[in-house]
A = this chain, B = another copy of it.
């Protein structure tokens, strides 16, 4: 019997979308305003979903205080109030699209999370654009 629990978090960051292998004209054509060399930014809303069995002693799948702390240490401290392109190791060589940010967050948390749990990440870049990844 498996149940899913979710903890929400958020971080505010600047980024620029572009491919350094392309010239400015092609980057503008593909990424439009998102290719502004001076960056723009978002309030990213994060949902971390953990699936597992209920511990009969606590009634918890996972202690939410532990999950909250893990998200703070591994994700918020790393990305909040940062320039994703300039301030982070993860996006030095990787285009910080919502898809790639979601995949990177999943990879970071997957390593830290007990392997008995399934993990799904949902990331809202704006109210209209959302990404989900579950390790498939």
Contacts and interface: CB of A to CB of B under 8 A. Distances in A.
Contact of A133 (B4, B98, B129): B4
Contact of A39 (B34, B83, B102): B83
| Number of copies of this kind of chain in the complex | 6
A25 interface: no
Question: Size band of the A side of the interface?
Answer: 35 or more
Interface string A96-122: 111110110000000000000000000
Contacts of A83: 14, 36, 38-40
A59 B94 contact: yes
Contact of A97 (B4, B12, B58): B58
B95 A3 contact: no
Most buried by B among A3, A10, A128: A3
